[in-house]
Amino acid sequence: MNIHEYQAKALLKTFGAPVASGVPVFKAGEAEAAAAALPGPLYVVKSQIHAGGRGKGKFKELGPDAKGGVRLAKSAAEVVANANEMLGHTLVTKQTGPAGKQVNRLYIEDGADIARELYLSILVDRSVGRIAFVVSTEG
């Protein structure tokens, strides 16, 4: 099953899981309204493609110094600038291979001032027929 992050978070929310507020965006013109709908003042602009490694990925059409597919924005204007730079462009990650995937949607999420970031994954280990939890400091 391939669903985007914003779809997974909406599903988790229906079951009462605490999820940060966010708004999906399909056109750059929707980015400012999305930021206005969130508390701010920090926002996270996230590319929505079916691949991991989005934060470390690079856009084919942008220079080598350009930021990846997950970006922190400190104002609504930065959200809009990032949306303009990301939507419609091709994000290349370790999982996409050199062809990359076109970013056709973003998820604008309410940012948080965090001291430490951890990643959690729940997966099925078919070799032993059990569920496994993986926790890491890097995604």
Domain of residue 33: give its range: 5-114
Is residue 135 one of the residues assigned to a domain?
Answer: no
Mean pLDDT computed over 4-29: 96
Is residue 92 one of the residues assigned to a domain?
Answer: yes
Residue 39 has pLDDT above 90, yes or no: yes
The torsion angle over the Cα atoms of residues 80, 82, 84 and 86, rounded to 10 degrees, is: -150
pLDDT band at 103 (very low <50, low <70, confident <90, very high): very high
pLDDT band at 113 (very low <50, low <70, confident <90, very high): confident
Considering its fold, how many domains does the chain have in total? 1
Is residue 17 one of the residues assigned to a domain?
Answer: yes
With a pLDDT cut of 70, the percent of the chain lying above it is: 99
- Terminal CA-to-CA distance of the chain, rounded, Å? 20
The model carries a pTM of 0.86
Mean pLDDT computed over 89-103: 96
Write the CATH number for 33. Answer: 3.30.1490.20
β-sheet bridge partners, residue 44:
72, 109
Is residue 126 one of the residues assigned to a domain?
Answer: no
